[in-house]
C-alpha cells in the first residue's frame, strides 16, 4: 500500500490553484528540478545559521521569533477565487534581521511543518514552494530593504520589503505553475496570466497588510529588543 500511495502521489500530476503548491500537483520532472535548484541555497543557509548561532548565541531567541512569525502568518490561509487560497508569507522580517540565506532555511522548515502538520503544501513540491517563498521572496526583500534603507526611511524599507516578498512569492508560484501546465492555446504566457490573475485578487491587499504588520512588529522589537538589533547593526546604539 505504501508503494501504491507513493506512486499515486508522484505520478498523478494536476494543476494547482493554490499556494502552496499541493502534494502531487507538479509533474515529477518539475518537482525534482525545483528541489535541485533549492538545495544549494539550503546548504548555504545552514552555514549562515551556524555562523550566526556560533558568533552570537544570544540571537537564538530572535531566530526562533523570526521562524514563528513566518509560520503563523503563512498558516493564515484565506479563500481566493476559483478554489485557490492566499496567505501572507512572513519572510520579510526574518530576512531583514538575518539575511536571505538564513531565511531560506527558516522558511523551508516552516513549509515542512505546514506540509506535515497542516496538509498545506507537500514534500514532493517542497522544492518549488521553498524556491518561491523561502528563496526568491527573501532575496527580493533583502535587496529592496537595503535599497530603500539608504534613504534613511527604515520603516518604509521594512514595509516595502515585506510587501514585495509576499507579492513576488506568488508571481514565482504563478510562473512555476505556468511552465508546468502551459495553456493549450496561449502557452506559458497565457497560463501565467491566468494564475497570476487568480492570486492577485486577494494577494495584493494581503501584501499591504503584511507590510504594515511587519512594521508594527519591527517597532515593537525596536523598543523591547533593541540590544539584539544593535548587535545586528540594524539600529544605532543609544549610548
Cα 53 to Cα 42: distance, rounded to the nearest angstrom: 16
pTM of structure? 0.86
> Percent of the chain scored above 70 by pLDDT?
87
Supply the mean pLDDT for the chain. Answer: 85
Owner of C-alpha cell 529588543: 225
Task: Report phi then psi at 85, rounded to 5.
Answer: -135, 155
Find the angle CA(155)-CA(52)-CA(126) to the nearest 5 degrees: 80
> Percent of the chain scored above 90 by pLDDT?
59
* Class in CATH terms, 17-231: mainly alpha
What per-residue confidence (pLDDT) applies to 70?
93
Read off the pLDDT of residues 58-108 as tens digits, 9 standing for 90 and up: 999 999 999 999 998 888 776 654 445 678 899 999 999 999 999 999 999
Mean pLDDT of 159-171: 93
Coil/strand/helix, residue 192: helix
Query: Is-contact 207 166, C-beta < 8 A?
Result: yes
Outline where the chain has alpha helix (H).
2-11, 28-55, 60-74, 91-98, 100-117, 126-129, 137-149, 154-180, 187-224, 226-231
Residue 4 CA to chain centroid, in angstroms? 32
What per-residue confidence (pLDDT) applies to 130?
94
Amino acid at each position: 500500500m505504501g508503494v501504491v500511495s507513493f506512486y499515486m502521489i508522484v505520478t498523478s500530476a494536476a494543476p494547482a490553484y493554490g499556494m502552496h503548491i499541493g502534494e502531487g500537483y507538479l509533474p515529477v520532472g518539475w518537482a525534482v528540478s525545483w528541489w535541485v535548484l533549492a538545495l544549494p541555497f539550503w546548504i548555504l543557509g545552514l552555514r549562515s545559521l551556524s555562523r550566526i548561532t556560533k558568533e552570537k548565541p544570544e540571537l537564538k531567541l530572535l531566530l526562533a521569533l523570526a521562524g514563528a512569525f513566518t509560520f503563523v502568518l503563512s498558516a493564515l490561509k484565506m479563500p481566493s477565487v476559483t478554489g485557490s487560497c492566499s496567505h501572507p508569507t512572513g519572510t520579510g522580517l526574518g530576512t531583514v534581521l538575518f539575511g536571505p540565506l538564513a531565511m531560506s532555511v527558516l522558511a523551508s522548515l516552516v513549509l515542512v511543518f505546514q506540509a506535515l502538520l497542516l496538509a498545506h503544501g507537500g514534500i514532493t513540491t517542497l522544492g518549488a514552494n521553498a524556491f518561491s517563498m523561502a528563496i526568491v521572496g527573501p532575496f527580493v526583500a533583502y535587496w529592496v530593504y537595503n535599497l530603500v534603507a539608504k534613504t534613511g526611511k527604515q520603516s518604509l524599507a521594512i514595509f516595502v520589503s515585506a510587501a514585495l516578498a509576499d507579492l513576488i512569492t506568488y508571481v514565482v508560484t504563478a510562473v512555476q505553475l505556468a511552465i508546468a501546465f502551459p495553456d493549450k492555446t496561449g502557452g506559458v504566457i497565457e497560463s501565467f496570466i491566468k494564475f497570476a490573475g487568480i492570486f492577485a485578487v486577494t494577494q495584493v491587499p494581503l501584501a499591504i497588510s503584511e507590510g504594515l504588520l511587519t512594521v508594527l512588529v519591527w517597532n515593537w522589537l525596536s523598543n523591547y529588543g533593541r540590544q539584539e538589533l544593535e548587535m545586528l547593526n540594524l539600529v544605532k546604539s543609544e549610548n
